[in-house]
Amino acid sequence: MSMRPDPEDPGLILLEGVCPVEEAESLAAHLLANPGARVDWRACTRLHTAILQVILRLRPPLRGPCGDPFVARWLDPDAFT
């Protein structure tokens, strides 16, 4: 389980567990199709570079902190909002 819309809030995408490279495309497609969509990455345990790149480019509002300790530790949350 890695990327799914919140069942109670369709405008919120949940990133959970390991988020692998293949999901970059669906995440990008979803964010482009739903400009107001937000991302909750608190339950994500490991983020692939490609996913981070999508977030960096499309800058959805983020609900954090990121659950991936490396991202939380080293990357500046301001860079993503």
Partner 1 sequence: MTGRPVDDLLEPFLAEARELIDGAAEDLVALAAAPGDGARLDRVFRAFHTLKGSVGLFDFPPFLALLHAAEDGLAAARDGRAGSGDDLADLALEALDAASRFTDAIAAGGALPPGAAQEADRIAARFRGGLAPRAPSALGPAEIPDGPVPPWAEALLARAEPVAPGSPLVALLYRPREDCFFSGDDPLGLVRGVPGLLAVTVAPAGPWPADQDPFACTLAIALLSAAPRPEIDAVIRLVRDQVTAVALVAPAAPPPPDLTAAILREQLRLAAADPGEAGAGTREAAAATAANALRAAGREAAARACRFAATEGGEALAGRLAALLDAPDAPSGPQYQPDLAGGQEAAEAEAAEVGRPLRVEAARIDGLVALAGDLVAARNGLAHLAARAEAGEAAAALAPALREAEARIGRLSGDLHRGLAALRLVPLAPLFRRFARPLREIARGLGKEVVLESEGGAVGADRALVDALFEPLLHVLRNAVDHGLEPPEARRRAGKPEAGHIGLRAQIVGETLAVTVSDDGRGIYPERIRERAAALGLHPPGTLAAMRDAEVIDLVFAPGFSTAERVSDLSGRGVGMDAVRASVARLSGRVEIESAVGRGTVIRLLLPQRIALTRIMRVGIGDEEYGLPLDAVVEAARLPRERIRDLGPGAAALLRGRTVPILRLADLLGLAPAPAAPSGEALLVVLRSGPETIAVEVDRFGERLDALTRPLAGLAATPGVAGTTLLGDGRVLVVLDPPGLVAAAVGHEEDGR
Residue from 30, 7, 4, 43 nearest 55 by CA: 30
Decide: 69 and 44 in contact? Cβ < 8 Å: no
Residues 50-69 that bind partner 1 (CB under 8 A): 50, 52-54, 56-57
Q: Which of 7, 8, 36, 49 binds partner 1 (CB under 8 A)?
A: 49
Residue whose CB is less far from partner 1, 15 or 27? 27
What Cα–Cα distance (Å) separates residue 76 from each residue in 18, 70, 71?
Answer: 20, 11, 8
| Site stretch for partner 1 (CB under 8 A), options 8-16, 21-29, 33-41 | 21-29
Rounded Cα distance between 7 and 61, Å, is 18
* Binding-site ranges for partner 1 (CB under 8 A): 18, 20-22, 24-25, 27-28, 47-50, 52-54, 56-57, 70, 72-76, 79
